[in-house]
Amino acid sequence: MAYTHDHPRPVVSIIMPVFNKLDLTRVCIASLHEQPTAESFEIIVVDNGSTDGTTEWLQAQQEAKRLKAVISGENLGFAQGCNAGAAVACGKYLLFLNNDMEVTPNWLDPLVTTLDHDPRVGIVGAKLLFPDGTIQHGGVAVVEVHTERLTFGGIHLFYKHDGDFPGANRPQQMQVVTGACLLIRPEIFEAVGGFDAEYWNGNEDVDLCLKAGREGWLVVYRPECEIIHYESQSGPQRWAKVEHNLQVFMKKWHGVAKPDFIRDKQGKFQPTPENKVSPYTQPRLSLVEETPYRASVVVLVWNALEYVRRCADSLLEHTGEDCELIFVDNGSQQETLAYLAELDGRCERAKVIYNGENLGFAAGNNIGMAAAGGRYICLLNSDAVVTDGWLDRMITAAESRPGVGLVGPVTNSITGGQKLEAVDYDQDTLAGLEDFAATHAAAQAGKIESALWVVGFCVLIKREVIERIGGLDEGFGRGNYEDTDYCLRAFLAGYSSVVAKDSFVHHFGSRSFQAGGVDYDRELDEKFQIFRRKWDLEPTARQTGNLNLQQLIDDGFLPALHFHPLPPSPRMRVLPLARWEADRWVDRAERFYAAGKLDNARKMLQAVLDGMPDHDRAANDLAVILWRQDPEGEGRDRAADILAQVLARDPRNEDARWNLEQMEEPTPV
């Protein structure tokens, strides 16, 4: 979108302090005008007493309505210059940009999308590249250096690495990004007092980010925004007060802010327990409105009435009024339906959803998750019985450390580390259960154990996790491994799983499957194969436990593959897919195609078209894959329909026409 000087309120105010170096400012301003972006913006240039013709050039540019010029007449320094520009800005967001920059196409859009879609994020930064394509800035880590002299401050990550280095090309949450390109909400900028003018051209950006973080805002690095940075071209005054800046920063933040890394005397970096550098995944869903419920418990029901009744009774006894209870019936018989109807009628906070048929574990729970309004959502099997304080202890575990997204309790009957070796109560009649749970809770009070995943018989999920990775994968059908899959997706999205050792939930185990005559072992084998193929694991992975985690981490969370939408619900809003992101998904799909991973490419392209049906490049690519996978059957027919729709929108689309002609040619014998 072109520069909108007269827009009543542009989306972004680009604020650029300058001191001489007119040749660089010309290049930067020209690139802002020339490179396409979906967002409206204004340009505010603050002249810090330049003497090389910059002042006159800016005044001429302002007369031509290409920017706003703020002429100070003296060198105010970076902090005061930026603050002066912010004082006259009218954009929805403020973006501080050095003048030694050259922006690239759609550079601004990923930054704006982050703030538009994620109300927790206050500051967003970009990936900055040297002209030779190596990295100048890939985010900033806060480091405490233990050498002859103790120092504390920020260092640029991935400095001088190749621009395509995998670690630098994943969105990250961190404490600091560089002020050379920094987007911030104006209300935050004002609330923290803007840039601190006690610094002089150094550490102002680190200080600003830490102030925002102290107020609870997230700082995010988005490598999808790429800018060429000629770095520190403002002259010798840039380095005039390095020691002063260090001392101001140390006095203000050392011992207050927590370092991400410690650098020892040998130059080695060690992450600290407080390290805040972690993967970032933007939301795809948002809650339409807040509800009075702290938590929502979703109970999937399929017959086994005796156990459903026990589960419901325990929930009514051991969960507070700030918890809603959602029972989702998956096609039970009449006696179970009658009980659920009676429960719905007598309990205000209980809600029953009737599916009318067995949609499977994942699909049934997704319906409940979509209807849930709590800040936490707990999926609970209908053959589980909760005990006093169970939910409060799980929520306490979820809030115990940054990044926890899923919590499981301990139990009597399950696979893995959540199962206690022995329980001292009758597991059939449940005589003594409450006393056992209370004694166990006292002995394990506050203990939390990290886990790669927790079992889905009872799992507490933060709403923000659901907003980012969606629901369970319905491709697992009736049940099994969708919980493992969900935890793995959450892990790649930057969330950890933990076990609340002091929360005990009794589990009878597979009672719905038994009531339905399901061969559980066979189901387990079949669903593992689905899991294995989805994550490209070795056939022996179930025996060896080798999930090839490093490769999965390197690939990261791929929203087009790893986000699973929830059913439509008045409580949830689907956030729009931005054009810049759709284009990147298509780029990735084409790389999958070139590597022979046609299923991944097909899924990514379908995700693009689900969010942006008129994306012709995605449609063309998807048609080719469908035709290649099924050249004589339904795949070919569907491919032809897709191409016909592209040509209906754009009769001059040569790719679609050529592809369609190729499909219509007879297959050689």
Residues 615 and 529 in one domain: no
Domain count, the chain: 3
Tell me which H or E stretch contains 356.
Answer: none
Tell me the per-residue pLDDT of 72-92, one tens digit each, with 9 for 90 and over.
888 888 999 999 999 999 999
Locate all alpha helices (DSSP H) within 167-295, ordered by sequence. Answer: 186-191, 204-214, 242-253
In three-state secondary structure terms, 616 is helix
Does residue 599 sit within a domain?
A: yes
Residue 669 pLDDT exceeds 50: no
Residue that has been written with the tokens 């509800």 in this structure = 291
Backbone angles phi, psi at 65, to 5 degrees: 60, 40
| Alpha-carbon dihedral 468, 472, 475, 480, rounded to 10 degrees | 140
Residues 290 and 240 in one domain: no
In three-state secondary structure terms, 43 is strand
Does residue 605 sit within a domain?
A: yes
Does residue 559 sit within a domain?
A: no
- Amino acid 120: pLDDT: 96
Residue 275 pLDDT exceeds 80: yes
List, in order, residues 6 or more apart from 350 with CB less than 8 Å away: 312, 316, 324, 325, 326, 327, 343, 344
- Amino acid 33: pLDDT: 96
Does residue 556 sit within a domain?
A: no
Last residue of a domain, one of 225, 243, 276: 276
Tell me the per-residue pLDDT of 321-360, one tens digit each, with 9 for 90 and over.
999 999 999 999 999 999 999 999 999 999 999 999 999 9
Does residue 564 sit within a domain?
A: no
With residues binned 3-state (H G I as helix, E B as strand, rest as coil), the percentages for the chain, rounded to 5, are 40, 20, 40
Q: What's the CATH number where 495 sits?
A: 3.90.550.10
Provide the pLDDT confidence category of residue 580 given band limits of 50, 70 and 90.
very high
Residues 52 and 188 in one domain: yes
Q: What's the CATH number where 653 sits?
A: 1.25.40.10
List, in order, residues 6 or more apart from 593 with CB less than 8 Å away: 601, 621, 625
Mean pLDDT over residues 181-185, rounded?
A: 98
Residues 62 and 132 in one domain: yes
C-alpha to C-alpha distance for 301 and 292, rounded to whole angstroms? 25
Does residue 438 sit within a domain?
A: yes
Mean pLDDT over residues 384-392, rounded?
A: 98
Select from 225, 202, 212 the least CA-distant residue to 114: 225
Mean pLDDT over residues 281-293, rounded?
A: 91
Tell me if the pTM is above 0.85.
yes
How far from 476 is each of 105, 388, 470, 472, 486, CA to CA, in Å?
A: 40, 33, 15, 9, 11
Instruction: Give, in degrees to the nearest 5, the angle at Cα 568 between 649 and 224.
Output: 60
C-alpha to C-alpha distance for 430 and 444, rounded to whole angstroms? 21
What's the whole-number average pLDDT of the chain? Answer: 92
- Amino acid 506: pLDDT: 98
- Amino acid 407: pLDDT: 98
Tell me the per-residue pLDDT of 94-132, one tens digit each, with 9 for 90 and over.
999 999 999 999 999 999 999 999 999 999 999 999 999
Provide the pLDDT confidence category of residue 233 given band limits of 50, 70 and 90.
very low
389-393, 484-488, 533-537, range with the lowest pLDDT: 533-537
Residues 180 and 324 in one domain: no
Beta-ladder partners of 182: 96, 125
Residue 6 pLDDT exceeds 60: no
Mean pLDDT over residues 131-160, rounded?
A: 90
Mean pLDDT over residues 189-214, rounded?
A: 95
- Amino acid 550: pLDDT: 84
120-124, 148-152, 513-517, range with the lowest pLDDT: 513-517
**Which residues span the domain enclosing 597?**
576-664
Residues 260 and 213 in one domain: yes
Backbone angles phi, psi at 278, to 5 degrees: -155, 160
Last residue of a domain, one of 511, 535, 551: 551
Provide the pLDDT confidence category of residue 45 given band limits of 50, 70 and 90.
very high
Cβ pair 390, 504 in contact under 8 A: yes
Distance from the first to the final alpha carbon of the chain:
52
Provide the pLDDT confidence category of residue 268 given band limits of 50, 70 and 90.
confident
- Amino acid 1: pLDDT: 44
Select from 465, 516, 519 the least CA-distant residue to 487: 465
Burial of 383 (0-12, 13-18, 19+ CB in 10 A): buried
Residues 166 and 86 in one domain: yes
Does residue 565 sit within a domain?
A: no
Mean pLDDT over residues 541-561, rounded?
A: 86
Residues 70 and 130 in one domain: yes
Residue 517 pLDDT exceeds 90: no
Residues 158 and 303 in one domain: no
Residues 172 and 263 in one domain: yes
Does residue 22 sit within a domain?
A: yes
Cβ pair 68, 186 in contact under 8 A: no
C-alpha to C-alpha distance for 569 and 567, rounded to whole angstroms? 6
Residues 148 and 127 in one domain: yes
Mean pLDDT over residues 612-628, rounded?
A: 96
C-alpha to C-alpha distance for 579 and 36, rounded to whole angstroms? 12
Residue 663 pLDDT exceeds 90: no
Last residue of a domain, one of 254, 276, 298: 276
Percent of the chain at pLDDT exceeding 70: 95
Residues 158 and 17 in one domain: yes
Provide the pLDDT confidence category of residue 519 given band limits of 50, 70 and 90.
low
